[in-house]
């Protein structure tokens, strides 16, 4: 994606960053407050429609005509495991446009192995659908994908794990093509995946029975868990109608937080990590960088275990790989430090006594 599309994607993400302003804080999780582990991030999304070789709007298929309105959505996405070790997927919507003005979107939309919920901002249930046998299978497939692909950040960009990823793809029927500058492509009968290790970018081109789809995702380091998605560009065009609409969506991802009090999410520490001393903290404490030479920190965000932002440290100094912070104003309990550096984002769970 080293072309105008990437420039457009990054320009839109710049706009997203200006619009979003500050950090969104989570108030509560109505169903899964007793969470064992979860991965949260905030998403800003724009969708537009484009049409080629069109003489009249009457040529557009009725199933797509109502979808031409530009769409916008700002939401928080959470994938997690509750205290009963049941996977769940939740969307908390802050702003959204709809196809029709009379339509509304619940503040919380929650997907669980037993049913789907819509809840207001205060936790009142607006709808609840119990899963039937078919939905249970769909939920099992979705939660399995969330747990394997989205619950923890991507690890594939680490060189020692690339060979494992490629070997598994070849066993699944893929053909490997080595391109220039370390870029490589895996091809199946109905899809191609191109991976750029330098840009940390993955491009997927998919051929379905009724449409073609292209998805480009860019990643940034989120140590010690892997690489978290920072932007996503997708376009989808139907192939079963004469005048299809191409829907293009740009998503910007920010404020990634992993809460893992039970230490059940795998960590990958070969690249780099941070450690916090002493544990538990009380007043001043040290953040030690390991494998992060000449770290320059722009900010440190401290979250409680519910995802609420409780403290911010702007441009703290790092001396000999050590940064000293003051925890005296933090609330007691389990906390998450998210440290932003020029190399990427580093996170660590710790306790304030």
pLDDT surpassing 80 at residue 52: no
* Across 17-21, 69-73, 275-279, least confident range: 17-21
Q: Which SS3 state, helix, strand or coil, does residue 13 take?
A: helix
Q: What is the mean pLDDT of residues 150-168?
A: 67
Share of the chain above pLDDT 70, in %: 78
84 or 176, higher pLDDT: 176
How many Cβ atoms from other residues are within 10 Å of residue 193's Cβ? 17
Place of tokens 């709007």: 57
Q: What is the mean pLDDT of residues 7-12?
A: 34
Q: Which residues of 202-228 are buried (b: 16+ CB within 10 A; e: fewer)?
A: bbbbeeeeebbebbbbbbbbbbbbbbb
From first CA to last CA, the distance across the chain in angstroms is 48
Q: What is the mean pLDDT of residues 174-201?
A: 92
Q: Which residues of 7-41 are buried (b: 16+ CB within 10 A; e: fewer)?
A: eebeebbeebeeebeeebebeebbbbeebbbbbbb
Q: Which SS3 state, helix, strand or coil, does residue 203 take?
A: strand
Instruction: For residue 205, name the pLDDT band (cuts at 50, 70, 90).
Output: very high
pLDDT surpassing 70 at residue 350: yes
How many Cβ atoms from other residues are within 10 Å of residue 160's Cβ? 10
Residue pLDDT, tens place only, 223-260: 888 888 899 999 999 999 888 889 999 999 988 888 77
pLDDT surpassing 50 at residue 310: yes
Q: What is the mean pLDDT of residues 300-313?
A: 88
Architecture of domain 273-352: Sandwich (2.60)
Nearest to 218 by CA among 239, 248, 197: 197
Residue pLDDT, tens place only, 171-182: 999 999 999 998
Exposed (0-12), middle (13-18) or buried (19+): which is 240, by Cβ within 10 Å?
A: exposed
pLDDT surpassing 90 at residue 57: no
Question: Using the 8-state DSSP alphabet, how is residue 101 labeled?
Answer: T
pLDDT at 138: 65
3-state SS track over 298-309: EEEEEEECCCCE
How many Cβ atoms from other residues are within 10 Å of residue 234's Cβ? 16
Under 8 Å between Cβ of 32 and 82: yes
Residue pLDDT, tens place only, 278-295: 989 999 999 999 888 888
The domain locations on the chain are: 4-157+200-259, 273-352
**Does the predicted TM-score (pTM) go above 0.85?**
no
Give the helix ranges, DSSP H, for the chain.
Answer: 4-20, 62-65, 133-145, 159-171
**Was domain 4-157+200-259 assigned CATH 2.50.20?**
yes
Q: Which SS3 state, helix, strand or coil, does residue 148 take?
A: helix
Place of tokens 């607006």: 126
């Amino acid at each position: 994606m080293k072309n105008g599309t990437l420039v457009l994607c990054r320009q839109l993400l710049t706009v997203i960053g200006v619009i979003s302003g500050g950090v969104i804080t989570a108030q509560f999780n109505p169903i899964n407050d007793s969470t064992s582990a979860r991965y949260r991030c905030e998403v800003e999304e724009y969708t537009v429609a484009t049409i080629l070789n069109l003489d009249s709007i009457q040529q557009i298929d009725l199933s797509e005509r109502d979808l031409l309105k530009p769409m916008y959505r700002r939401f928080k996405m959470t994938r997690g495991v509750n205290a009963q070790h049941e996977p769940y997927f939740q969307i908390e919507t802050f702003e959204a446009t709809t196809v029709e003005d009379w339509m509304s979107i619940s503040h919380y939309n929650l997907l669980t192995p037993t049913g789907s919920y819509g809840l207001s901002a205060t936790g009142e249930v607006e709808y609840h659908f119990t899963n039937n046998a078919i939905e249970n299978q769909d939920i099992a497939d979705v939660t399995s994908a969330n747990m394997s692909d989205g619950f923890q950040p991507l690890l594939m960009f680490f060189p020692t794990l690339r060979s494992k990823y490629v070997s598994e793809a070849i066993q699944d029927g893929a053909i490997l093509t080595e391109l220039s500058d370390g870029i490589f492509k895996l091809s199946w009968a109905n899809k191609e995946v191109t991976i750029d290790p330098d840009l940390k970018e993955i491009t997927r081109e998919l051929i379905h029975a009724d449409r073609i789809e292209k998805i480009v995702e860019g990643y940034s380091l989120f140590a010690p868990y892997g690489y978290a998605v920072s932007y996503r560009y997708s376009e989808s065009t139907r192939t079963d109608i004469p005048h299809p609409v191409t829907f293009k969506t740009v998503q910007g991802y920010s404020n990634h937080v992993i809460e893992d009090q039970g230490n059940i999410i795998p960590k990958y520490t070969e690249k780099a990590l941070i450690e916090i001393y002493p544990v538990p903290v009380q007043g001043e404490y040290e953040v030690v960088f390991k494998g992060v030479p000449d770290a320059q920190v722009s900010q440190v965000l401290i979250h409680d275990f519910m995802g609420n932002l409780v403290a911010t440290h702007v441009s703290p100094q790092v001396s000999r790989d050590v940064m000293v912070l003051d925890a005296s104003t933090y609330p007691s309990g389990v906390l998450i430090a998210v440290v932003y550096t020029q190399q990427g984002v580093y996170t660590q769970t710790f306790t304030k006594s």
